[in-house]
Structure 1
Amino acid sequence: MFPSLNWATPSRSTSPSPVPRDELQDSEQDAAAKRPPGLPLAQFPDRFRPSRSYSVLTTIDINGRIADRSPLQALAWPPGLSISISLMVPLIVIAPDAASREHVTSQGHIRLSAAIRHVLQITSGHRLYMTAAIDTDRLTIGPPSVIDEFVSRLQQEATQA
């Protein structure tokens, strides 16, 4: 049914003979010295350098709790930290404020009040864009449409240039 295969077997051992450790290290160093340098690394303009911010797309629950805690962790904001929440429609700006009554929850979440959710028409399940600005110790929250508008403007500028 199947053609017979004749597998050739080596007549002698194919395993290499052991090399003394000193000779092995010398040959590795010689090989590294003879190797051409690697590919050059790309140089990016300043606008493409890594930023000092951390951004996520997250959701909000029925009680105003924002699901993703990682921006707060990037800012090193501990549970219980007093914060001020400022509304700059359509954005929410949050910063540490020892005099404020608002705070990070004991589980490390931000909770938006019903008044803020009502003004911005945010309901359970809505997606929110969060950016933690590491250098200024600020957290900005807004709808993804803000990012869409920004990208759209950049695309228009690029096509006009």
Structure 2
Amino acid sequence: MTMLRKFLDFIYVAAGAVAALCLVTILLLIVAQMVARWTGAVFPGAASYAGYAMAGASFLAFANALNRGAHIRVSILLNSLSVGPKRLLEIWCFGLAAAISAYFTYYAYWFVYWSWKFKEISQDQDATQLWIPQSVMVLGGAILTVALIDNLVSVIVKGDHRITRDIVDQSFGE
């Protein structure tokens, strides 16, 4: 079981690291586009690539952000409940979130599949096959679904989730 725990934690951190690399990629693309404009050159598709990197950064960061307590949670109600009702409410919240995330990931998969099947390409200058950047959305959604189920199982089995308290979260008086 500890091997599975280490593997899942590695996946969450690795996805967060790749999301950070996507943010650096956005910076580099913007700088390259600025330099290209200053020199009179053209960098076709830079804005599209930056958009793809932004989608990658967003979706890949979801699971890591969840486990680090960076997602918005309204914990005023949770903090006011006793242990039993709090546990039931957290089971309901994680279960509903996992179901919604799984639903989204399932339909995102079919969205990517049909983009691949029909060989859809971007209408911008880059002419990228759209299934490639769309696949990141499915991967990030799947990792988020696993993270939500991981927290749901933790609440059911151990009585507490795996979300760590962030200093920023604590600074708001919770």
TM-score tier, shorter chain, comes to: under 0.3
Q: Which protein is bigger by CA-based radius of gyration?
A: 1
* Bigger strand share: 1
Give the alignment's TM-score, normalised by structure 1. 0.21
